[in-house]
Every structure is written in structure tokens, then in C-alpha cells.
């Protein structure tokens, strides 16, 4: 953890926050006045009424009244842990980021989450899981804000509020609280068929992991690595759990949610407390940074597509070990604020149209969620690198800034802070040529192909896993009230795999409709069609 008594500007704030909050053995007011009676309010006589004059009562009740902050708009329910990341040195040739240097150890904080449910929902919902990692590197904080599935529902940030509105509980009854089994979700994904690939991952066993410790993680988007000599490559991040990837069956999930809605957070905390520290290897798929940014017909800027590991293997670059539970859930797990825009020298973004929107969204939402713009000063969000940002004032400012000239250039504060020399410790935006602006979707074959990778995923599963997928669709669509929605989703399934559509349609007591059409007729490249297998039944 960061040096608690030092402000983000490197100044000594005079007190460790924990000591400042709980340093006295006696009960005090928030202002440090010792209190002799903790249980009774000040009344006019033994039988009241209570006097407004009781400053302790007013302070205690008022603070309690304001204990809750808004939950995250998505990923509200989560569990976190501290740990360490150790670089293997294998990425040193392709990125100058110091975090990957051989045997370099960097503290991390990870938060796992479900996406749709509220803070009080249950852990074993059928859902995507968040897998967000904050690396407190010497060169600034780097956040890898990923999921346990390698693709996303939508290709463009413009559609993110739509998909979230569709997956959140129905606006009238707020039902269901944490599952996809409802009309709005199936309405959206059957109309917006680029969501079908992510959806089939949700309907697979990946949607109900056995444990946070047994989940893969994916950066989803393609990022850019920049080497010391300035050469660039494109990468996709993968977390591989040492315990392997495991799931529960739907029946196990139902029973567990009833018996122990905290199953995943308990499992994580208990394992760490028992010294069974979970570990993940971080790996990258590396691609040449060519002009078309495409591999075997897959556009690397399309977040609804993955690049099969059989085509481009994942190369390990470091190991993460989670070895300490948070001391305080609110201060750490709730107040942690991730942001894919938190980058360090050697790691940069690409023009993926979904990622581009995320670069704005996180900081923006955290201004509401954490009450103003100064949440980088909260202990869990403090960089471990030195800071001198010229940002001033604002709600909940806790730094006592010195000097009179928070502007550049200045002569009154000796010209400080200086611009960093353009060496390996400075972040330099990667220069990308920009064409004319257009407000359209990319019409590359990859973006317009909505079904071939969903098929690829389905065919890569074992027989029993395919049965689980068919059962999940049957169960979920069986909960839909709208016949048009059900039929439209069956058409999408028919476009993914005929046998899958037949099995689900039979389960619902319906005929298989005509397959839905993809915006583009796409023939997967020969290399791609060899990945996966055939439906064995």
C-alpha cells in the first residue's frame, strides 16, 4: 500500500488515516472531544423530549444518514484482494513498461464482480464477471479492466447504455434482479445480433464460474505495446488461472445462491486467509501493428471477435499472486476506481470504438460515485509513483498543496512542475494518422459478421458443455413472455448452429424458424473454419 501519511503531492499530511480515525482508546466525537456517555441522548427530563442541543446525537445520526454512496452503475457487486505481480522479463523486447521487467514486483489490487446485479444480489448469477486489476507501478498506475469473457456485446461505445438498459431489471417491477432471463435482454440481443457471440459465452458454463480463483480474464480490446526503440505491436491480454477454469452446473448455482449468496466472495477471502493464494499468469497474444490491423479476416479493433489461441498463441509475461484480503470493504473494494485510461509508458490504446468510449466513461462516472474529482487521493486509489498534477481544490480535497503557481509556465514556483524529459519514464501518445470523421459503423467483413465466431465457440465445446448451452437457452427463453422475442432469438440460434436451434426449439415446443441473416455474408477464412469441431450428436 502507498505511504499513507503522504499526500498525492508528496507532502506529509501529518497523520496516517487509520491512526487519525481510530487513534484514541476512548470514544470521541469526529472532532476528537472525548465522550463519557455513549448510549443516551440529551433530553428535557428523563421522559424527553430530546434536545436539538445534543451535538453528539446530531453528528452520529447525520453521519449515519450519509453512509451510503451510489453503487456502480454496472459491476455493482464485487469482491477484492491485494497481491503482487512479478514480471518474467519476456515482454521487455516489445514494451518499455517497467512492470514487465524480469523479477520486477509490483503491488496490485484486484476486484472481481458480476455485471448486472445490484450490490446486494447473489454471486452465482448467470452473468459475465469483471476482472479488474490495478497495478501500482513505479511509472504510474496502470489499470487492466477486463472481464472473464474474451468478447463484448457491442462494437461501439454508443451502444453500451442500450445493452445495459436491456440487461438491467425491468423498469416496472425491478425483476429479475440479477439474471439475463427476461424479455428486454433477449429483445436487444436478438435485434442487435452482434451481441450473439458474447451471449453464447454467457449461456455456456463460463457464465457460472465455480470460483473467482478459477476464472480466466481477458482485456477484450486490442492494446498497443511500445518498445524502448519506439517500435509498436498490438496485443490482447489474457489471465490464465493456475487452478484452471471451472464452472458449476445451473442446478448447483441455484442451490448455492439460496444457501450462500456470498459464495464467491467467501471462497476468495477464505482461500487467501488460509494461505491458498490464488495465482494467474498474465499472457499476451502479439500481432504486428500493420495498417489493416487484421488477422485471418478478424479485425483487431472489433471487440465482438477473439483471435483463436490456436492461430496466435498466448505468451506468458508475468505472474499475479493474491495474498491479502482487504482490511475494510468500503474503503478498499467499494472505493477502488478503475479506469482503462490509466496507462503507463509502453502501454497504449487502439482505435477500438468500444474502448474509445470507455476512456471517457470511468472517470466521468466516478465523479458521481465518489463525490467529486479527488478520489485519486483515497488510499486505495493513490498512485505509488510520485505525483505533481497541478489539479487543485474541488470536493473532498485532502491534500494541502504548497506554492502559488499551479500553472505552467510559471516563474513564481521556480517553474515547477517541469515537463518530463521525453525518455522512457514519460508517457508519449502514439501518433496515429487520422482520416476524415464519419458517424457510421465500420463495414469491414469482421464487424458485419455476427454469427461465425459464436458458431466457432459452440463447436469448440465438449458434448456435455453443448448440452448445458442448449439447456441454458431453453431455460432463459422459457422465461420470456413475448413470443416475437423468443422466435427472433431462435432465428439467431438457427444462424449459429442448426442442431442447437432444433434442440432449444424442441425444448420450447416450437418449430425452428428461418435463420437470421448477418449484415454481411461471411465465409470464415480456411484457417478459422479448422478451429473447433463438429456437433457430435
HEC string of 237-293? EEEEECCCCCECCHHHHHHHHHHCCCHHHHHHHHHHHCCCCCEEEEEEEEEECCCCC
Active-site residue numbers?
A: 75, 147
Looking at the DSSP bridge assignments, the partners of residue 240 are 281
Cβ 130 to ligand HEM shortest distance, Å: 3
Closer to ligand HEM by Cβ: residue 194 or 497? 194
Q: Pairing state of beta strands 140-147 and 129-137?
A: antiparallel
- Which residue has 470464415 as its cell numbers? 524
Cβ 504 to ligand HEM shortest distance, Å: 27
Closer to ligand HEM by Cβ: residue 238 or 468? 238
Binding site for ligand HEM (CB under 6 A): 72-75, 78, 111, 113, 130, 132, 145-147, 152, 157, 160, 220, 336-338, 354, 357-358, 361-362, 365-366, 369
In angstroms, the CA 455 to CA 457 distance is: 5
3-state secondary structure of 323: strand
Rg of the chain's alpha carbons, rounded to an integer?
26
Residue positions in the annotated binding site? 72, 111, 160, 358, 362, 369
**Listed residue (238, 321, 243) closest to 283, CA to CA:** 238
Closer to ligand HEM by Cβ: residue 145 or 253? 145
**Listed residue (398, 407, 393, 289) closest to 350, CA to CA:** 289
Closer to ligand HEM by Cβ: residue 125 or 500? 125
Closer to ligand HEM by Cβ: residue 74 or 378? 74
In angstroms, the CA 448 to CA 478 distance is: 29
Cβ 207 to ligand HEM shortest distance, Å: 15
Residue positions in the annotated binding site for heme? 72, 111, 160, 358, 362, 369
Crossing angle (nearest 10°) for helices 463-478 and 250-259: 60
Residue 107's contacts (CB-CB under 8 Å, 6 or more residues apart) are 1, 82, 83, 84, 85, 135, 136, 384
Closer to ligand HEM by Cβ: residue 9 or 193? 193
Residue 212 exposed, middle or buried by CB count within 10 Å (0-12, 13-18, 19+): buried
Cβ 150 to ligand HEM shortest distance, Å: 9
Which residue lies nearest ligand HEM, judged by its C-beta?
130
Cβ 470 to ligand HEM shortest distance, Å: 27
Residue 330's contacts (CB-CB under 8 Å, 6 or more residues apart) are none
Cβ 72 to ligand HEM shortest distance, Å: 4
Amino acid at each position: 500500500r502507498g505511504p499513507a501519511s503522504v499526500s498525492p503531492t508528496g507532502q506529509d499530511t501529518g497523520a496516517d488515516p487509520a491512526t487519525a480515525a481510530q487513534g484514541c482508546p476512548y470514544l470521541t466525537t469526529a472532532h476528537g472531544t472525548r465522550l463519557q456517555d455513549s448510549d443516551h441522548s440529551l433530553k428535557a427530563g428523563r421522559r424527553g423530549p430530546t434536545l436539538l442541543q445534543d451535538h453528539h446525537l446530531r453528528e452520529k445520526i447525520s453521519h449515519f444518514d450519509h453512509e451510503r454512496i451510489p453503487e456502480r452503475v454496472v459491476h455493482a457487486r464485487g469482491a477484492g484482494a491485494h497481491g503482487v505481480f512479478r514480471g518474467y522479463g519476456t515482454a521487455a523486447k516489445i514494451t518499455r513498461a517497467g512492470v514487465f521487467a524480469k523479477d520486477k514486483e509490483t503491488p496490485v489490487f484486484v476486484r472481481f464482480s458480476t455485471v448486472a446485479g445490484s450490490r446486494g444480489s447473489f454471486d452465482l448469477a448467470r452473468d459475465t464477471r469483471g476482472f479488474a486489476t490495478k497495478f501500482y507501478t513505479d511509472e504510474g498506475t496502470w489499470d487492466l479492466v477486463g472481464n472473464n469473457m474474451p468478447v463484448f456485446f457491442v462494437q461501439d461505445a454508443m451502444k453500451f447504455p442500450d445493452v445495459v438498459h436491456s440487461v438491467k431489471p425491468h423498469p416496472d417491477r425491478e425483476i429479475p434482479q440479477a439474471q439475463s432471463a427476461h424479455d428486454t435482454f433477449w429483445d436487444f440481443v436478438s435485434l442487435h445480433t452482434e451481441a450473439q457471440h458474447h451471449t453464447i459465452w454467457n449461456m455456456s458454463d463460463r457464465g457460472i464460474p465455480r470460483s473467482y480463483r478459477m476464472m480466466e480474464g481477458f482485456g477484450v480490446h486490442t492494446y498497443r505495446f511500445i518498445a524502448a526503440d519506439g517500435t509498436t505491436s498490438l496485443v490482447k491480454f489474457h489471465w490464465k488461472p493456475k487452478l484452471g477454469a471451472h464452472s458449476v452446473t445451473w442446478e448447483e448455482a441455484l442451490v448455492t445462491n439460496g444457501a450462500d449468496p456470498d459464495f464467491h466472495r467467501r471462497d476468495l477471502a477464505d482461500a487467501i486467509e488460509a494461505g491458498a493464494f490464488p495465482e494467474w499468469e498474465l499472457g499476451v497474444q502479439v500481432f504486428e501493428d500493420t495498417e489493416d490491423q487484421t488477422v485471418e479476416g478478424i479485425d483487431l479493433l472489433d471487440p465482438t471477435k477473439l483471435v483463436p489461441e490456436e492461430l496466435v498463441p498466448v505468451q506468458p509475461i508475468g505472474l499475479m499472486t493474491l495474498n491479502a484480503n482487504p482490511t475494510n470493504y468500503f474503503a478498499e473494494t467499494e472505493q477502488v476506481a478503475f479506469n482503462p485510461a490509466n496507462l503507463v509508458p509502453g502501454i497504449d490504446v487502439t482505435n477500438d470504438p468500444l474502448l474509445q468510449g470507455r476512456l471517457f466513461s470511468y472517470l466521468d462516472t466516478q465523479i458521481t460515485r465518489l463525490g467529486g474529482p479527488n478520489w485519486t487521493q483515497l488510499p486505495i486509489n493513490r498512485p505509488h509513483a510520485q505525483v505533481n498534477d497541478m489539479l487543485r481544490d474541488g470536493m473532498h480535497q485532502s491534500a494541502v498543496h504548497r506554492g502559488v503557481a499551479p500553472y505552467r509556465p510559471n516563474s513564481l514556483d521556480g517553474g515547477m512542475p517541469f515537463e518530463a524529459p521525453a525518455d522512457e519514464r514519460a508517457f508519449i501518445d502514439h501518433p496515429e494518422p487520422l482520416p476524415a470523421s464519419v458517424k457510421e459503423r465500420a463495414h469491414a467483413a469482421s464487424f458485419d459478421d455476427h454469427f461465425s465466431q459464436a458458431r466457432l465457440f459452440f463447436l469448440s465445446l465438449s458434448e456435455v458443455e453443448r448440452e448445458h448451452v442448449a439447456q441454458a437457452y431453453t431455460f432463459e427463453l422459457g422465461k420470456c413472455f413475448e413470443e416475437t422475442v423468443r422466435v427472433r432469438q431462435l432465428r439467431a440460434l438457427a444462424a449459429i448452429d442448426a442442431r442447437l436451434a432444433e434442440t432449444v426449439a424442441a425444448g420450447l415446443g416450437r418449430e425452428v424458424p428461418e435463420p437470421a441473416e448477418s449484415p454481411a455474408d461471411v465465409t470464415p477464412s480456411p484457417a478459422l473454419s479448422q478451429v473447433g469441431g463438429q456437433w457430435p450428436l
